Amino acid sequence: MIYTMQGLENDHPIREMLFNLLPTEIPERADIAPEGADALGVVVEQAGAENRIRVCCVRGGKQICAEKRAPISDDAEQTKRVRTHALKSAIFEAVVPFLDTAPEWGSLTGVRPAKFARSFMEQGYTPAQVAKLMTETYHVSAARRALAIRSAGVAMDLKEKIRDNDISIYIGIPFCPSRCSYCSFVSHSIEKAGKLMEAYLDTLCGEIAHTGEILKQAGLRIVTIYIGGGTPTTLSAEQMDRLLRTVHQAFDLHALEEFTVEAGRPDTITREKLTVLKKYGVDRISINPQSMNDAVLEGIGRHHSAQDVLDRYQTAREVGFSAINMDTIAGLDGDTPESFARTIDMLLELNPENITVHTLAAKRGADQHDRAHNAQKQDDVRQMLEIASQKLTAAGYVPYYLYRQKFMAGGFENVGWCKIGYECKYNVYMMEELQTIVSLGAGGVTKLLGSDGRKIRRISNPKYPYEYNVSLQRINAGKQEILNWAQSSTALPD
């Protein structure tokens, strides 16, 4: 789709909305649209105390236009935010009449819809008022706004209980037994990168020990720990024992409320490893089937069967885990609404405390062909998500957190469902940006939350294990910033 722009520069939101509405087309900017071509024309002009926005979409010789006004205030950030939302909304109204189905998240393109809903609820809007706003101004469907508002409520309840010096810890293990075809994470198959693992563990233990000192000096309380990846259980039982022993030696865990390890791939789980996790107080694990259809599992490169999932789940219960999450993905190649429904039924029969329903997202850097392939699945994905929602609700699960990624089939979302009382606090803190998260390991991004609850300062570790393994001194030196932040009463400068 060609687009033209006059007046204020707004390239990013225009491209973002066009990707959202027309995922199979590449947005191309032009000075003038060729005669008769399908195109979007955008004009944003300042007129007195407001910005005036006019968007016209031409497709197949027909033109539809939409106009919006956005007030200008003394706060430049607020002015830009209001203008951007108005612009996206105008693009939505001009383009959607040409589509078979409107995206369910309307003109919202952000990754945190619950945070968006919460921002209004914290200003005093009632849930009914937020629902009205999301429908009338942002064109969000009833099902999606219900998800956002419920998750916002969970986040508000948890936020009330957070103390000033509470933090969470994330530890990354970026190794997997093999690469799954759909995966966008930075993770390495042990076949290719297994030789880096021992040095990785050495570096990670060094970073944990140093961070423990800093956190004690700073007087910070660790309330949740999440070990993710990758697949942490790619580590052997001995390596896992060493990692968790180091965690216990380095950190003061007297205030710890939740300790999660993603066991992830069933082909890495053994009774021995689960026993090590239990010994060190891990109280929540994930066993992630993604699908319970063997043909789908094979197609996506997972080296395990549905039966392996059932067996490992049984072992985890025998070892004594009473909070288990299971991940699924809607939209995998070879899956259908019917076989996806069978996956959900099989998981419900197991009765885990959490089920997370993801929507397939095209990989970062995916080409137009992949994105188009994904977009074509949107009707199936919509059905799959409806099936999941109905079955999970009927079985007593409730949605408690959600997030979106770029290039998801149908522009949908990932939703964490749980039995009441089994919300994973870390997931909510992290996704809703409610609390400082100190992240360790390759690719870890520490997010220090400002005292206003909004400004976030990031400290990034090297992304790949081969860089991380030779950077311990630099990484540890960077931790001083955590101390500075804590000592300056968590106030971040502008």
Contact status: 293 vs ligand SF4 (CB under 6 A)? no
Of positions 13, 41, 212, 229, contacts ligand SF4 by CB under 6 A: 229
Q: 137: helix, coil or strand?
A: coil
Q: Rounded to whole angstroms, how far apart are CA atoms 472 and 203?
A: 6
Least separation in angstroms between residue 332's CB and ligand SF4 is: 11
Least separation in angstroms between residue 188's CB and ligand SF4 is: 9
**Which residue, 176 or 418, is less far from ligand SF4 as judged by CB?**
176
Of positions 107, 151, 231, 436, contacts ligand SF4 by CB under 6 A: 231
**Which residue, 130 or 329, is less far from ligand SF4 as judged by CB?**
329
Residues that contact ligand SF4, how many (by CB under 6 A) = 11
Least separation in angstroms between residue 101's CB and ligand SF4 is: 29
Site for ligand SF4, residues 186 to 215, rule: CB under 6 A: 187
Contact status: 179 vs ligand SF4 (CB under 6 A)? yes
Least separation in angstroms between residue 230's CB and ligand SF4 is: 5
Contact status: 183 vs ligand SF4 (CB under 6 A)? yes
Contact status: 328 vs ligand SF4 (CB under 6 A)? no
Of positions 2, 147, 176, 261, contacts ligand SF4 by CB under 6 A: 176
Q: Which listed range, 146-154, 176-184, 308-316, 431-439, lies at the site for ligand SF4 (CB under 6 A)?
A: 176-184
CA-wise closest residue to 172 among 93, 260, 250: 260
Least separation in angstroms between residue 19's CB and ligand SF4 is: 23
Contact status: 103 vs ligand SF4 (CB under 6 A)? no
**Which residue, 1 or 424, is less far from ligand SF4 as judged by CB?**
424
**Identity of the amino acid at 397:** Y
Q: Which listed range, 172-180, 204-212, 395-403, 481-489, lies at the site for ligand SF4 (CB under 6 A)?
A: 172-180
Least separation in angstroms between residue 179's CB and ligand SF4 is: 5
Edge to edge, what strands does the sheet with 221-229 contain?
397-403, 414-419, 354-359, 324-330, 284-287, 258-264, 221-229, 166-173, 436-440, 445-449, 456-460
Q: Rounded to whole angstroms, how far apart are CA atoms 38 and 379?
A: 25
* Through-space distance between the first and last CA atoms of the chain, rounded to whole angstroms: 39
- Under 8 Å between Cβ of 208 and 388: no
Binding mask 255-274 toward ligand SF4 (x if CB under 6 A, else -) reads ---------xx---------
**Which residue, 138 or 175, is less far from ligand SF4 as judged by CB?**
175
Least separation in angstroms between residue 172's CB and ligand SF4 is: 10
Q: Rounded to whole angstroms, how far apart are CA atoms 235 and 219?
A: 31
Of positions 22, 58, 152, 180, contacts ligand SF4 by CB under 6 A: 180
Enumerate long-range contacts of 340-347, CB under 8 Å, 24 or more apart.
Answer: 340/291, 340/384, 340/387, 340/388, 341/384, 341/387, 341/391, 342/292, 342/293, 343/289, 343/291, 343/292, 343/293, 344/387, 344/388, 344/391, 344/392, 345/391, 346/292, 346/306, 346/310, 347/289, 347/292
Q: Which two tokens stand for residue 268?
A: 């890495």
**Which residue, 230 or 462, is less far from ligand SF4 as judged by CB?**
230
**Which residue, 212 or 229, is less far from ligand SF4 as judged by CB?**
229
Enumerate long-range contacts of 176-179, CB under 8 Å, 24 or more apart.
Answer: 176/229, 176/230, 176/231, 176/234, 176/264, 176/265, 177/231, 177/234, 177/265, 177/267, 177/268, 177/303, 178/301, 178/302, 178/303, 179/301
- Cis peptide bond N-terminal to 219, omega within 30: no
**Which residue, 20 or 231, is less far from ligand SF4 as judged by CB?**
231
Binding site for ligand SF4 (CB under 6 A): 176, 179-180, 183, 185, 187, 229-231, 264-265
